[in-house]
């Protein structure tokens, strides 16, 4: 590329200024620090949100619950107001971020607003025994914000809050009737995962926020595979069924993602299949040294397979 740019400049295909910029990039003289800046912004948001939570936890009695709720609400509104002023017009397609700080101001506002709602529920209990519904309210609030202002980060938080609402709700309902079981929580997580995968398919088919698809797919498959993995860790009763389900799911996902060249989903599928095979080996009751050798050798083989597949997926069709 470094040899091609001067030639394009001499043919007047590239303007002088553009050619000089591209030449600096090709020589390695100009390096983007955009990822590092985004990481610093993200760390700053997390520190601000954590600091606010710590301040509330340590001093809410001396400050007063009402004053804390108002302060969190004002801080959340201020962050969201600054982000809203910079926001581009709404579109069902992908909208370019107006500035590097926009996404993180939006995220900070959403986190502070969620913390405020949680604090209000904890202190004033407006929902009473139905307090888990505040998780659904937070989820819907985040979903609206993410769709309107095109934030995949906030969209992932919306899906996480929805899954948390379902998990808490199942636990409380079962506790009223009988002892809450891990089995119901496990299948509730699988159900949420299936819903998220279906949502991803809808986003693509409807062409509405189609670029959110990968977020929904990742969250969905993490829930499904995570629930199946937890099933392989239970007692011998029913364990074999979960191992079989995990192996079939992992194999199917890895094959589909390999054909579609989606490396992240391929990793999920291969790891699920690997955990199923390892659980089967451990279940066989072989000697402990053999299990260690199996894990050591197969882990190295797995890394090699993933490296080779990544190179293959980067190749053009």
Interaxial angle between packed helices 182-206 and 152-177, expressed in degrees from 0 to 180 and rounded to the nearest 10: 150
How far apart (Å, rounded) are the C-alpha atoms in residues 94 and 3?
A: 35
The whole-number average pLDDT for the span 2-16 is: 58
118 assigned to some structural domain: no
Label residue 97 by pLDDT band (50, 70, 90).
confident
* Mean of pLDDT values over 283-293: 79
- At residue 85, the pLDDT reads 87
pTM, rounded to two decimals: 0.82
Q: Is residue 163 within 8 Å of 218, Cβ to Cβ? A: no
In a domain, 248, yes or no: yes
Q: How far is CA 235 from CA 7, 206, 241, 268, 272, in A?
A: 69, 43, 12, 24, 19
Higher pLDDT, 59 or 268: 268
Residue 44 lies in a domain: no
In a domain, residue 71? The reply is no
Residue 31's pLDDT is: 57
State the Cα–Cα distance between residues 309 and 249, nearest whole angstrom: 19
- Cα atoms found within 13 Å of the Cα of residue 294, Cβ hemisphere only: 15
Boundaries of domain holding 238? 220-317
Res 174: pLDDT: 47
* DSSP output for 101-160: THHHHHHHHHHHHHHHHHHHHHHH-TTGGGTTHHHHHHHHHHHHHHHHHT-HHHHHHHHH
Residues of the chain with pLDDT > 90, as a percent, come to 35
Q: Is 36 part of a structural domain of the chain? A: no
Please give the DSSP secondary-structure letter assigned to residue 317: -
Predicted confidence band at 59 (pLDDT cuts at 50, 70, 90)?
confident
Span 169-202, pLDDT tens digits:
665 544 444 444 677 788 888 999 999 999 999 9
Predicted local distance difference test score (pLDDT) of residue 176: 42
Note the Cα 55 to chain centre separation in Å.
27
Residue 301 lies in a domain: yes
Residue 133 has pLDDT above 70, yes or no: yes
Whether 15 is covered by a domain: the verdict is: no
Task: Please check whether residue 162 lies inside any domain of the structure.
Answer: no
**How many domains in the chain?**
1
């Amino acid at each position: 590329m470094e040899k091609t740019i001067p030639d394009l400049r001499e043919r007047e295909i590239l303007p002088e200024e553009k050619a000089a910029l591209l030449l600096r990039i090709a020589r390695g003289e100009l390096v983007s620090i955009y990822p590092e800046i985004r990481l610093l912004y993200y760390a700053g948001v997390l520190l601000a949100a954590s600091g606010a939570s710590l301040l509330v936890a340590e001093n809410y009695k001396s400050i007063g619950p009402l004053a804390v709720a108002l302060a969190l609400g004002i801080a959340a509104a201020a962050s969201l107001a600054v982000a809203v002023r910079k926001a581009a017009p709404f579109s069902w397609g992908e909208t370019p971020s107006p500035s590097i700080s926009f996404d993180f101001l939006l995220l900070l506002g959403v986190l502070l607003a969620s913390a405020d709602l949680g604090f209000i529920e904890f202190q004033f209990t407006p929902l009473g025994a139905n307090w888990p519904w505040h998780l659904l309210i937070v989820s819907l609030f985040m979903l609206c914000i993410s769709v309107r202002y095109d934030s995949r980060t906030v969209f992932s938080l919306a899906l996480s809050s929805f899954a948390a609402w379902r998990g808490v709700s199942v636990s409380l309902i079962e506790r009223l009737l009988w002892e809450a079981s891990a089995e119901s929580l496990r299948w509730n997580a699988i159900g949420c995962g299936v819903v998220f995968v279906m949502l991803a398919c809808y986003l693509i088919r409807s062409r509405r926020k189609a670029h959110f698809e990968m977020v929904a797919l990742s969250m969905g498959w993490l829930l499904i595979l995570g629930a199946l993995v937890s099933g392989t860790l239970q007692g011998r009763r029913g364990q074999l069924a979960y191992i079989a389900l995990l192996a079939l799911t992992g194999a199917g996902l890895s094959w589909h993602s390999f054909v579609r060249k989606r490396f992240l989903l391929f990793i999920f599928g291969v790891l699920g299949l690997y955990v199923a095979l390892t659980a089967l080996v451990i279940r066989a009751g072989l000697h402990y040294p053999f299990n260690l050798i199996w894990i050591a050798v197969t882990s190295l083989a797995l890394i090699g397979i993933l490296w080779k597949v990544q190179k293959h997926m980067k190749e053009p069709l």
